[in-house]
Amino acid sequence: MDFLLEEKNKQLKSWLPKGVPSDTIWQTVCRNSNILENVEKQTYSLFGISTDQGAVSHLDVESGIKVFQCHLRKSNYISAVGAHMSVSEKALDEHFVDFLTESNIKRKHKIRKDVLCEDIPENTLLRQPVPVTPDERMKIFSLDRLTISELNSEIMKDLELIQDSLYRDFYNELFLTEVKHAKGKKKEKYVSFLQDLRDAMDLVNESDD
């Protein structure tokens, strides 16, 4: 009986958070012991981890992670439409469902550019990781992170997309006079112009639709 109690006590301690547990934590763990034990068994079964009951170390976590990744793919979780939350209950990026597609595009670009040494146009966004959270998306797609040279390149590419020649000439002249040849804090002018240009292009596209 002493042995069984010692094993049970070891198991309960494995579920306690780090630090000195309070009475409330002890009561919560003890009262939910059966539930926690069931969750533990199902989790180890899902991850394909074999361990002795109550063991808290030497778990084959790496293979367990791979098994869980396969489980996510089989369950189609990433591709499912709807809001996604992280394990810590933080909202994930709304385009998280396109994670596999975007990561494949970025990988192919890197292989063509760096491994096969193909002469393809540089794409700054393809050099960035796929955003997982809304904060990461804002940081990656923020125009402030671009250099003046990169901003200039983005502006020229956007100007070429304008179908109306009068509209394109107007913004091209505005860019030359108000931004490129202007004095003062140039990067701020580049960022502001690019944002205004894209906003205007979005409005034109919406009206065409």
Q: Residue ranges of the domains in the chain? A: 2-58, 143-208
pLDDT tens figures, 73-111: 777 766 666 677 776 678 888 787 788 888 888 888 888
pLDDT tens figures, 138-171: 887 778 878 888 888 888 888 888 888 888 888 8
- C-alpha atoms less than 13 angstroms from C-alpha of 125 in its C-beta half-sphere: 11
Instruction: Please answer whether residues 78 and 96 qualify as being in contact, where contact means their C-beta atoms are separated by less than 8 angstroms.
Output: yes
